[in-house]
A and B are shown apart, each in its own frame.
Chain A
Amino acid sequence: MSSKMQSSNNIAQARRTVQQLRIEANIERIKVSKASADLMHYCSEHAKYDPLLMGIPTSENPFKDKKPCTIL
């Protein structure tokens, strides 16, 4: 690659980086306190439906083996 082509590629690359950074710098953001509160709220709302968190009875979990029944 001639040095002229190489430098114009580098400039094109740098221009793309500047363009990308402009987009990222201008997005709207919220405070971490608000974001954290929302994450916590989601967890607490859904906790009761989370089988791995709450543990579910053996009889309801298809992966936990049920004790064999004996018919007398």
Chain B
Amino acid sequence: MAAQEVAAQPSDTLATLKTESETLKTKLEEERAKLHDVELHQVAEKIEALGQFVMKTRRTLKGHGNKVLCMDWCKDKRRIVSSSQDGKVIVWDAFTTNKEHAVTMPCTWVMACAYAPSGCAVACGGLDNKCSVYPLSLDKNENLAAKKKSVAMHTNYLSACCFTNSDMQILTSSGDGTCALWDVESGQMLQSFHGHAADVLCLDLAPSETGNTFVSGGCDKKACVWDMRTGQCVQSFETHESDINSVRYYPSGDAFASGSDDATCRLYDLRADREVAIYSKESIIFGASSVDFSLSGRLLFGGYNDYTINVWDVLKGTRVSILFGHENRVSTLRVSPDGTAFCSGSWDHTLRIWA
């Protein structure tokens, strides 16, 4: 983006640059404030309140020997991949609760896992600082570990990974403070994303209609939106008071939600370029580890470190339900591709399907 390049001036000193920095930050806040004419929940007052929700655990997936750290749905809406602190990655049929595949990773704390769009492979990684892809074999006896392909290499732990629109590219985020886009076949880094000042903990790809962007959240309390082609950070948001553990796009792609150790979830609208809602209660004092929207975007599900799942009315900002069941922290949560259910994974070693 050469147009905006700051030409080096001999008179540039740290002091003048810092002053300009502060001036620009003030300008940014002023520009944002000018358009802050109303609150989302005020505009939403005129719509009907949601009724009572009855959501229960319909399946419990047992088999991990330690904390479940991450999970992802297959596009077929029934298979799930999950990863755990004990190094195991398991592929489940969520309808029957049967385990279809299991892989033991060479490292513990497999913090990230993702299902390939084709359903034919899974990616995972963690303390090994890598993201590896395992093709899934129809032959149950085949040793999956033999076909493993190392794709991404970071200089610190892998915190999240996800395939882009095909099995060919993977996006990763890392404790090394960067995100990167990789070609699966060659293992080559196609683009890197620098801008976070600390560990990046999460990422989410924009829905395909909205183009080539993704959002990331980190220990620097910032959420950043990136242009995948240029590597440029195009927008950033810094209103959380602690680490951002989870980010997820609103289904239209015009907004995203975040969950943080500051015990709140927030909604940021990309076109208004600001936070437009905070989902919090005085009684909620534990961090939110994972968030996802229902299909229409009206509900936001948040998994928390106090073992509960809170269900929020996205527009009105109120909590509509609280779900109990897990016996330890909820670490991961995803709604199924057709929105009929959502899955939560926990430090209690289990995954639960709710509907």
Contact = CB atoms under 8 A, between A and B. Distances in A.
Contacts, number: 180
A10 to B, nearest CB: 6
Given A21-B28, A36-B43, A52 B38 contact: no
A30 B353 CA distance: 39
A47 B353 CA distance: 21
Interface in B260-301: 269, 271-274, 276, 294-299
A11 B37 contact: no
Contacts of A67: none
A61 B14 contact: no
A32 B35 contact: yes
A3 interface: no
A45 B274 CA distance: 24
Nearest to A38: B254
B36 A32 contact: yes
Nearest to B32: A29
A57 to B, nearest CB: 11
Contact of A36 (B28, B50, B276): B276
Contacts of B232: 23
Interface residues of A, number: 46
A25 interface: yes
Interface in A40-67: 40, 42-47, 49-53, 55-56, 61-65
Contacts of A32: 35-40, 269, 272, 274, 276
A22 to B, nearest CB: 5
Contacts of B295: 46, 49-53
A2 interface: no
Contact of A35 (B27, B44, B236, B271): B271
B299 A52 contact: yes
Nearest to B58: A63
Contacts of B5: 19
A72 interface: no
Given A18-B17, A25-B31, A55-B54, 15 more contacts: A14-B17, A17-B21, A20-B236, A24-B234, A29-B31, A29-B32, A31-B35, A32-B39, A38-B271, A39-B254, A39-B276, A45-B296, A47-B298, A50-B296, A53-B294
Nearest 7 pairs between A and B by C-beta? A14-B17, A46-B296, A50-B296, A21-B24, A35-B272, A36-B43, A63-B58
Interface of B: 1, 4-6, 8, 12-14, 17-18, 20-21, 24-25, 27-28, 31-32, 35-40, 43-44, 47, 50, 54-55, 58-59, 78, 94-95, 195, 232-236, 250-252, 254-255, 269, 271-274, 276, 294-299, 314-315, 335, 338-342, 353, 355
12 contacts: A14-B18, A15-B8, A21-B28, A25-B24, A32-B39, A39-B269, A42-B252, A47-B298, A49-B296, A51-B338, A52-B355, A53-B298
